Amino acid sequence: MRPPRKYAGIRTTVLRRDAVVATVPVALAALLAAAGPAGAATAGASGVGDPYFPQAGNGGYHVGHYDLNLRYDPTSHRLDGRAVLTVRATQKLTRFNLDLSGLKVTALTVDRVNAGFRRSGQELTVTPRRALNKDQTFKVAVSYTGVPKAVTDPDGSKDGWITTDDGAFVAGEPQGSMSWFPGNNHPKDKASYDFTITVPRGHTAVANGVLLGQRTAAGKTTFRWRQSEPMASYLATATVGKFKVEQYTTRSGIKVYNAVDPREAAAAAPVLKKLPSVLDWEAKLFGPYPFRAAGSIVDRAPQVGFALETQSRPVYDRAPDLSTLVHENAHQWFGDSVALTTWKDIWLNEGFATYAEWLYAEQHGGPSAQKTFDRLYATAKNNELWSFPPADPGSGANIFGRPVYDRGAMALHKLRKTVGDQAFFKTLRTWATQHRNGHGTTAQFTALAERISGKDLDNLFRTWIGTKGKPTAP
């Protein structure tokens, strides 16, 4: 995700933010911990314990797969959905929670048997007819309807299902997925996805992964998408609009699907043409591209104010510039394939994607990364850049603040200068490879950098990501 416009800083065009059951993610241990000691309780926790978003996610289970069947009318803004979740209990459960904001639940079953449910805020509490045993796999089917409303984040911005003049811009970081489907709404719990989306003829519905097919009948077109690799719920999309579509396969075998609002097509074309070369460049630095599919969704949604690295296919609120394209696609490695474990660690997403911009500029005729670092370091001590440490933003209101992006990138540049290019780039590639389709933490990254470089880096990381205020020396 690109930073909000209020953090535009040195940029003139800035966008905010940027089918089998999947393998249980590395961070599942944290979900188990959130559920409490084995046998101590039979109700799943109503959150996974994230300090910034305490009600996000749920304990007591892991979702392996989501099968989402949606019908959307852009005129009435009505969404009718049926979500079937394939779930494994991680403790004995007499009840458990899903995250769902707004929307009316019309039916709910557990293994095809009607189950009790109640609503309280974003929590949908489910009581199955019979208790579920630890390690039992079961299916939860939720039918729901209504007009989805975007979620307001702690910084005052909106995410989730956002209405446009011809459909919807769907981007869920950090909380918005619960505005359009029920789930375990925290990056700790990654899953594979199938999407079946029906919209009026003439509209296109774009989701993650590979397009399996589309069919038009009775004035409606149904699109089927599959995201096989594990994905955090906030990275899911079902963006709807009147799009110009381009499809091709790269020389490396990646299926590309670009959907562009015709009003943005002329401005977007020169940048999107560079996507294959950008992916090739990033793969050389970070390791093989982690997904089967790639592409772009370029909408016209000026009220949104951000772009997001929706997995395999970033969504942009307008035609992106080249640095934005580089940023959002770098997230496919850093943030999507390797997911954060807590929102406090978001610099591992945003600092890395921002530094990818610096590297791309350095290697393609732009300013060197050192020059960009020096320009930022010259910023006054009272500038917002130094207002909090990147690895501890303090609250959900700050996770898209400038320190997370720019100072996070500065920390990576300091690491590079300290350990040398060989160790630095080996660290980035090893990080993306070892944690592929999983999760990572700041502590794990710092330990990896120390192991590969053979250097004690405690003071470097403490100064550049762990302490607020401007460091005394660059």
How open is the CA angle 413-417-421, to the nearest 5 degrees? 95
| Distance from C-alpha of 207 to C-alpha of 239, rounded to nearest angstrom | 7
Cα separations (Å) of 165 from 63, 134, 204, 315?
Answer: 34, 47, 14, 16
3-class secondary-structure state, position 2:
coil
Structure confidence at residue 1 (pLDDT): 84
Structure confidence at residue 33 (pLDDT): 43
Which pair of tokens denotes residue 56?
């996000």
Give me the residues paired with residue 97 across strands: 125
Report field, pTM of the whole predicted structure over 0.85: yes
- The four Cα atoms 350, 351, 353, 357 give a dihedral, to 10 degrees, of 130
- DSSP for residue 405: I
CA-based radius of gyration for the chain: 22
3-class secondary-structure state, position 370:
helix
Structure confidence at residue 62 (pLDDT): 98
CB contact burial 328-349 (16+ within 10 A = b; e otherwise): bbbbbbbbbbbbbbbbbbbbbb
Burial of residue 266, with CB atoms counted within 10 A of its CB: 0-12 exposed, 13-18 middle, 19 or more buried: exposed
The answer, yes or no, to whether the previous bond of 174 is cis (omega within 30 of 0) is yes
| Distance from C-alpha of 384 to C-alpha of 51, rounded to nearest angstrom | 23
With residue 267 as reference, give the H or E element that holds it.
helix 265-272
Per-residue pLDDT of the chain (474 residues; tens, 9 = 90+): 865 533 333 332 333 444 333 333 445 444 544 444 444 469 999 999 999 999 999 999 999 999 999 999 999 999 999 999 999 999 999 999 999 999 999 999 999 999 999 999 999 999 999 999 999 999 999 999 999 999 999 999 999 999 999 999 999 999 999 999 999 999 999 999 999 999 999 999 999 999 999 999 999 999 999 999 999 999 999 999 999 999 999 999 999 999 999 999 999 999 999 999 999 999 999 999 999 999 999 999 999 999 999 999 999 999 999 999 999 999 999 999 999 999 999 999 999 999 999 999 999 999 999 999 999 999 999 999 999 999 999 999 999 999 999 999 999 999 999 999 999 999 999 999 999 999 999 999 999 999 999 999 999 999 999 999 999 988
Structure confidence at residue 189 (pLDDT): 98
Cα separations (Å) of 109 from 54, 60, 144, 298?
Answer: 27, 18, 12, 37
Residue/partner pairs of 113-119 with CB below 8 Å, 24 or more apart: 115/140
